[in-house]
């Protein structure tokens, strides 16, 4: 003990001694009957008593030093530590016990996920650990904290941890900081054994979302501690039905280190899919077979859906097949099936409105389409005989929404046409029917242009050219031939139409039209070939049925197959009116027909995906390109827009002024690039989240059971971070299970984070939908993969981690059992000294009394 090092807990108590001068002053002036010497002696005793009391109140402590050592040895018993390392640990503990001094203490701790105290009788349990739940994790900080709590504080404390350095619970950086702040040195001893032969499937990566019937890639990451020849890698798939099947088996010779294998596959059904990569060592040695697999989950949705509203649904097969070939699912409907709300349209990737008249486009439905487009959708408006001007679109709310105007140029040239009138002259047409047929034919010829071509065929059981194909300028001569029509004989419609087709087919005319009038029935054999040829060449056939005995279905078939009209009447007096209507079909207003060349008007990115030129068209609705942002991408040889588009809000409005059927677009629907054309167009316009499976990616980081999900939201169009979004993370185990939810909070520009506690080991699907008032919704998805404990991922000793921990904790690496006691530091303790000055005070009080009272 050194009296020079004496200390006081409350040194301010010595302030009481400041009253000493006052005590002497009062004693010197006292009127007591005492001599001056006795008064001064009493004052001196009182001042000494006050000083003793002040010393006692200051709580003096006299330091003492002693050398008492307290040591703890914590042994890692987790699965990643080999058995021979545990045997070495037991030997280390026993040697440390033998080196312990008389007053020293030794505590032995076993730990994996939790630390536990081991008595001397339990030391042997270090080498007999079981593969229970407690050994599947390593928590070094928990072991160090427990050791500090069980070591006495009145001795020199030090901890030696025997571990392979693989902490699976804490963050390495935080672990080093925590050990450094522990308040005692920590030595780290490497729990080394022979390097095990180990093959680990470390990861399996699959896209979070995929499309059905669309190939995608899955990558397996495999680690081998040493070369492993003849390993069989197997990829398994479990679909929504729950039946596992082998996708591929691939033999491979693994080199030491990491290997990546990529598999290409696809799924058929919508829903959740689980993929499992596993390795079979074919009888080879492996330390942990538990880590020979890895799983990943993905969610499959059907192909993007296009709503196709067709004025003639029975003729919509060409576009429907083309879009399905391009990977879309097509919902084909008639005009009545067009939804009336934007919410109903929101699920569609794009909407086609083809050849639909004004009556099928009410204000409510047009408003729904406009809202859908402005929210990011794509609407394509295709023409036809019921579209644009012909369909009465002018003046509707749809007109200003189109990238073209419905104004028809004043300098539209007249369309040259060829017409064949095929008139039934069988016996049943006698009387009024044949008479009105003659009048109807004459009136029809009158409305033709002089350069138009006309032919008249009369037929009964066989056809006869009453007037051969020539220009209609000599109307008097044509009328005279028509007047020769006489009734008599049978009825053969097929032969008459065959003759009409053969006569009109080679004619050079922009519009070719056949009008058939009959009141009877006929054989139908051979009609299909005639209709197929006529339709492919753009020849339209209209039929007029007179009387109640006509073959109504047969006549309708002829008209529908070629794009004509089927009319029926019981009154012969109606024939002139019906014939006149058919003549207007030949050269309708606001339509250009013939052989029309299509060229590029304004380049668009998607055109680069189209090989070669574009086929010709047989007709289109005449419109005028809008000025400004509207782009006439394709134009006719007259310069009229064929395909135009412009941006409306976040979406696109597209005008295709021809039809998409085997009428005007007959050469197009036969074109091998027809599907690619529409696929490329839609692919360039639809929003990213609708046209592809790309979503914002959710990344996961795991520390113990705590999982942190992170999403970086980036606007793909501008490349900027998206701030101010809100979203809820939903994590669901594959198959059945409880959904875990957590709010995503913004922690940095564009970065959002949420934490939650993971449940049991397995594979989880995660999704989050981010929304804000200013930005479009941003979906995010990811897969959390926890197939097996982290201990099965670690082999060997992490010497770098061990050195980092020892350095941070002011300890040593690999000290011997004897060296852990080699500590010259002494434990400084304090001895309380206050009772002695208090005793002096108690003695001086009666002394003072005695000086003043005794004679």
pLDDT at 838 over 90: no
In which band, very low, low, confident or very high, does the pLDDT at 41 lie, cut at 50, 70 and 90? confident
Span 578-632, pLDDT tens digits:
877 777 666 555 778 778 899 999 998 888 878 778 999 988 999 998 888 889 9
Please check whether residue 97 is in contact with residue 62, taking contact to mean a CB–CB distance below 8 angstroms: no
pLDDT at 691 over 50: no
pLDDT at 197 over 80: no
Residue 4's CB is within 10 A of a number of other CB atoms, namely 6
Which residue, 520, 597, 519, 529, is CA-closest to 562?
Answer: 529
Can you tell me the distance from the alpha carbon of 591 to that of 538, in angstroms, rounded to the nearest whole number?
14
Query: If you write DSSP's letter for every residue of 214-271 in order, what string do you get?
Result: --EEEEEEEEESS-EEEEEEEEEEE-TT--EEEEEEEEEEEPSEEEEEEEEE---SSE
In which band, very low, low, confident or very high, does the pLDDT at 753 lie, cut at 50, 70 and 90? very high
Can you tell me the distance from the alpha carbon of 278 to that of 282, in angstroms, rounded to the nearest whole number?
12
The half-sphere exposure of 699 on its side-chain side, counting CA atoms within 13 A, is 7
pLDDT at 825 over 90: no
User: Where are the chain's structural domains?
Assistant: 3-65+832-853, 68-195+796-825, 199-301, 305-411+592-685, 417-568, 696-791
Name residue 541's beta-bridge partners: 514
| Equal fold, 68-195+796-825 vs 305-411+592-685 | yes
Which residue, 216, 210, 213, is CA-closest to 327?
Answer: 213
The whole-number average pLDDT for the span 572-577 is 80
Span 395-441, pLDDT tens digits:
899 999 999 998 766 555 455 789 999 999 988 888 888 888 888 88
CATH fold group of domain 305-411+592-685: Rossmann fold (3.40.50)
SS3 label, residue 535? helix
Span 718-738, pLDDT tens digits:
778 889 998 899 999 887 788
Span 116-142, pLDDT tens digits:
999 988 888 887 765 444 778 899 999
Q: What tokens were used for 833?
A: 């000294």
* Number of helices and strands in the chain (H, E): 19, 41
Report the Cα–Cα distance between both ends of the chain, in Å, rounded.
Answer: 44
pLDDT at 690 over 50: no
Query: If you write DSSP's letter for every residue of 543-602 in order, what string do you get?
Result: EEEESSSS-HHHHHHHHHHHT--EEEES-GGGHHHHHHHHHHHHS-TTEEEEEE-EEESS
Please check whether residue 754 is in contact with residue 745, taking contact to mean a CB–CB distance below 8 angstroms: yes
Residue 732's CB is within 10 A of a number of other CB atoms, namely 19
Report which listed range, 57-66, 174-183, 571-580, is most confident.
174-183
Query: If you write DSSP's letter for every residue of 634-699 in order, what string do you get?
Result: EEETTS-EEEEEEEETTEEEEEE-S-SSTTTTHHHHTSTTHHHHHHHHHHHHS-HHHHSS--EEEE
346-375 exposure pattern, b = at least 16 Cβ within 10 A, e = fewer: eebbbbbbbbbbbebbeeebbbbbbbbbbe
The widest CA-to-CA distance across the chain, in whole angstroms, is: 180
- More confident: 475 or 332: 332
Can you tell me the distance from the alpha carbon of 435 to that of 422, in angstroms, rounded to the nearest whole number?
15
Cα distances (Å, whole numbers) of residue 224 to 196, 221, 256, 375, 790: 10, 10, 5, 52, 16
Which residue, 769, 765, 793, is CA-closest to 207?
Answer: 765
Site of tokens 């999704």:
767
- More confident: 467 or 135: 467
Cα distances (Å, whole numbers) of residue 451 to 238, 385, 582: 70, 24, 18
The whole-number average pLDDT for the span 653-678 is 93
In which band, very low, low, confident or very high, does the pLDDT at 688 lie, cut at 50, 70 and 90? very low
pLDDT at 22 over 60: yes
Residue 539's CB is within 10 A of a number of other CB atoms, namely 27
Q: What tokens were used for 273?
A: 């899919």
Name residue 190's beta-bridge partners: 163
Name residue 743's beta-bridge partners: 728
The average confidence (pLDDT) of the chain is 86
pLDDT at 43 over 90: no
Cα angle at 680 between 678 and 684, to 5 degrees?
A: 115
Domain with residues 68-195+796-825, CATH architecture: 3-Layer(aba) Sandwich (3.40)
The whole-number average pLDDT for the span 643-663 is 94
pLDDT at 717 over 80: no
pLDDT at 543 over 60: yes
- CATH 2.60.40.10 at 199-301, yes or no: yes
Cα distances (Å, whole numbers) of residue 195 to 64, 167, 186, 573, 743: 50, 19, 26, 105, 44
CA dihedral 404, 406, 411, 416 (to 10 degrees): 100
Site of tokens 């998805």:
781
In which band, very low, low, confident or very high, does the pLDDT at 251 lie, cut at 50, 70 and 90? very high
The half-sphere exposure of 326 on its side-chain side, counting CA atoms within 13 A, is 24
Reported pTM: 0.56
Site of tokens 């045997």:
87
SS3 label, residue 82? coil
In which band, very low, low, confident or very high, does the pLDDT at 382 lie, cut at 50, 70 and 90? very high
Q: Which CATH superfamily, name and number, covers 417-568? A: von Willebrand factor, type A domain (3.40.50.410)
pLDDT at 391: 84
Span 75-107, pLDDT tens digits:
999 888 888 888 899 999 999 999 888 888 999
Instruction: State how beta strands 257-265 and 244-254 pair.
Output: unpaired
Phi, psi of 66 (to 5 degrees): -145, 155
Name residue 162's beta-bridge partners: 75, 189
In which band, very low, low, confident or very high, does the pLDDT at 150 lie, cut at 50, 70 and 90? very high
What is the share, in percent, of the chain residues with pLDDT greater than 90?
40
pLDDT at 572 over 60: yes
Can you tell me the distance from the alpha carbon of 320 to that of 724, in angstroms, rounded to the nearest whole number?
41
Please check whether residue 790 is in contact with residue 758, taking contact to mean a CB–CB distance below 8 angstroms: no
Which residue, 636, 623, 626, is CA-closest to 665?
Answer: 636
Instruction: State how beta strands 651-656 and 641-648 pair.
Output: antiparallel
Can you tell me the distance from the alpha carbon of 627 to that of 634, in angstroms, rounded to the nearest whole number?
15
Site of tokens 């113990």:
704
> Any idea how long the chain is?
855
The one-character DSSP state at 273 is E
pLDDT at 322 over 90: yes
pLDDT at 581: 72
Domain with residues 696-791, CATH architecture: Sandwich (2.60)
What is the share, in percent, of the chain residues with pLDDT greater than 70?
93
Least confident of 34-43, 232-241, 560-569, 813-822: 34-43
Which residue, 404, 835, 853, is CA-closest to 624?
Answer: 404
Cβ-Cβ contacts under 8 Å for 498 (sequence gap 6 or more): 526, 530
Instruction: State how beta strands 105-111 and 69-76 pair.
Output: parallel
Can you tell me the distance from the alpha carbon of 617 to that of 594, in angstroms, rounded to the nearest whole number?
8
pLDDT at 482 over 50: yes
In which band, very low, low, confident or very high, does the pLDDT at 317 lie, cut at 50, 70 and 90? very high
Instruction: State how beta strands 271-280 and 7-8 pair.
Output: unpaired
Query: If you write DSSP's letter for every residue of 781-838 in order, what string do you get?
Result: EEEEEE-S-GGGG--S--HHHHHHHHHHTT--BS--TTGGG-----EEEEEE-THHHH
pLDDT at 645: 95
């Amino acid at each position: 003990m050194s009296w020079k090092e004496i200390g006081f807990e409350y040194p301010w108590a010595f302030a009481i001694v400041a009253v000493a001068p006052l005590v002497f002053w009062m004693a010197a002036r006292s009127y007591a009957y005492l001599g001056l010497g006795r008064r001064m002696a009493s004052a001196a005793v009182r001042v000494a008593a006050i000083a003793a009391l002040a010393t006692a109140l200051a709580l003096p402590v006299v330091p003492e030093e002693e050398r008492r050592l307290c040591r703890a040895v914590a042994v890692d018993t987790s699965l990643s530590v080999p058995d021979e390392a545990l045997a070495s640990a037991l030997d280390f503990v026993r040697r440390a016990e033998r080196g312990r001094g008389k007053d020293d203490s030794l505590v032995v701790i076993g730990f994996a996920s939790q630390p536990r105290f081991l008595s001397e009788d339990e030391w042997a349990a270090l080498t007999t650990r079981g593969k229970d739940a407690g050994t599947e994790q390593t928590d070094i900080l928990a072991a160090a904290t427990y050791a500090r709590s069980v070591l006495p504080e009145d001795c020199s404390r030090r901890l030696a941890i025997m571990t392979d350095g693989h902490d699976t619970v804490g963050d390495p950086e935080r672990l080093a900081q925590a050990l450094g702040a522990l308040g005692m040195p920590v030595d780290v001893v490497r729990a080394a054994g022979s390097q095990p032969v180990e093959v680990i499937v470390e990861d399996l990566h699959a896209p979070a979302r995929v499309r059905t019937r669309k190939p995608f890639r899955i990558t397996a990451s495999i680690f081998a501690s040493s070369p492993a020849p003849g390993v069989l890698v197997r990829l398994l798939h479990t679909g929504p039905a729950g039946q596992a099947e082998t996708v591929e088996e691939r033999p491979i010779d693994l080199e030491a280190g990491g290997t990546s294998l990529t598999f290409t596959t696809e799924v058929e059904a919508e829903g959740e899919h689980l993929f499992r990569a596993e390795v079979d060592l074919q009888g080879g040695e492996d330390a942990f077979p538990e880590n020979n697999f890895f799983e990943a989950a993905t969610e499959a949705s059907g192909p993007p859906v296009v709503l196709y509203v067709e004025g003639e649904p029975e003729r919509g097969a060409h576009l429907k097949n083309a879009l399905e070939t391009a990977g879309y699912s097509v919902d084909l409907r008639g005009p009545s099936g067009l939804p009336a709300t934007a919410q109903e349209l929101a699920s569609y990737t794009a909407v086609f409105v083809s050849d639909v008249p004004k009556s099928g486009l009410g204000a409510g439905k047009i408003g729904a389409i406009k809202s859908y487009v402005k929210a990011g959708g794509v609407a394509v408006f295709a023409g036809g005989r019921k579209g644009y001007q012909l369909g009465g679109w002018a003046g509707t709310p749809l007109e200003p929404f189109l990238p073209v105007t419905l104004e028809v140029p004043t300098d539209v040239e007249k369309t040259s046409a060829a017409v064949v009138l095929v008139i039934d002259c069988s016996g049943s047409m006698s009387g009024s029917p044949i008479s009105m047929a003659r009048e109807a034919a004459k009136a029809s010829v009158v409305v033709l242009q002089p350069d138009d071509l006309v032919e008249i065929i009369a037929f009964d059981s066989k056809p006869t050219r009453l007037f051969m194909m020539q220009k209609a300028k000599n109307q008097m001569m044509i009328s005279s031939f028509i007047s020769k029509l006489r009734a008599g004989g049978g009825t053969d419609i097929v032969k008459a139409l065959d003759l009409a087709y053969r006569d009109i087919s080679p004619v050079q005319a922009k519009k070719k039209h056949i009008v058939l009038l009959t009141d009877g029935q006929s054989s139908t054999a051979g009609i299909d070939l005639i209709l197929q040829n006529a339709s492919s060449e753009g020849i339209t056939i209209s039929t007029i049925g007179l009387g109640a005995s006509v073959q109504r279905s047969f006549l309708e078939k002829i008209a529908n197959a070629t794009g004509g009209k089927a009319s029926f009447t019981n009154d012969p007096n109606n024939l002139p009116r019906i014939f006149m209507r058919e003549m207007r079909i030949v050269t309708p207003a606001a339509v250009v027909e013939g052989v029309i060349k299509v060229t590029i008007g304004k380049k668009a990115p998607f055109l680069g995906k189209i090989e070669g030129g574009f086929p010709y068209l047989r007709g289109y609705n005449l419109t005028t390109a809008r000025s400004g942002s509207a782009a006439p991408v394709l134009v006719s040889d007259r310069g009229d827009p064929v395909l135009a588009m412009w941006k409306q809000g976040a979406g696109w409005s597209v005008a295709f002024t021809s039809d998409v059927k085997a009428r005007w677009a007959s050469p197009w629907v036969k074109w091998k690039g027809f599907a690619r054309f529409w696929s490329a167009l839609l692919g360039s316009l639809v929003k990213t989240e609708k046209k592809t499976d790309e979503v914002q990616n959710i990344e996961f980081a795991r520390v113990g059971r705590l999982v942190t999900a992170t999403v970086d939201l980036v606007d793909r169009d501008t490349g900027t971070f998206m701030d101010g979004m809100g979203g809820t993370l939903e994590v669901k185990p594959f198959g059945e299970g409880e959904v875990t939810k957590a709010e995503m909070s913004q922690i940095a520009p564009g970065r959002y984070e949420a934490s939650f506690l993971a449940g049991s080991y397995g594979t989880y699907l995660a999704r989050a939908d981010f929304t804000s008032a200013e930005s479009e919704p941003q979906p995010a998805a990811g897969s959390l993969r926890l197939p097996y404990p982290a201990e099965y991922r670690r082999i060997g000793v992490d010497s770098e981690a061990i050195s980092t921990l020892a350095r941070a904790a002011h300890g040593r690496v690999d000290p011997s059992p004897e060296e852990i006691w080699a500590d010259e530091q002494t434990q400084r303790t304090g001895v309380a000294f206050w009772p002695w000055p208090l005793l002096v005070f108690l003695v001086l009080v009666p002394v003072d009394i005695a000086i003043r009272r005794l004679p």
